[in-house]
Amino acid sequence: MTQKTPKCFNTVGICDPSVHYMLPALPRLPNVNDMIEGKYYFVLRGPRQSGKTTCLAALTEKINSDGGYYSFK
């Protein structure tokens, strides 16, 4: 029988919502879909450990699941 590991705060790498405490990633990028559809460039800026990599990983997953575009890691 395996015990469930309690959630913790992540300080390195991409957050996994089943393992780490975190805010939802995509609501932090409200206009990104319009920018992608309009074929605009965009820059994701923020201080250290603010969720930039996690947001991009979630965005990559969403883009690939929608089927209109393909994004790779």
1-46: per-residue pLDDT in tens? 566 788 999 888 888 888 999 888 899 899 999 999 999 999 999 9
From the centroid of its chain, how far is CA 31?
14
Q: Under 8 Å CB-to-CB from 63, ≥6 apart: which residues? A: 36, 69, 70, 71
Residue 49 has pLDDT above 90, yes or no: no
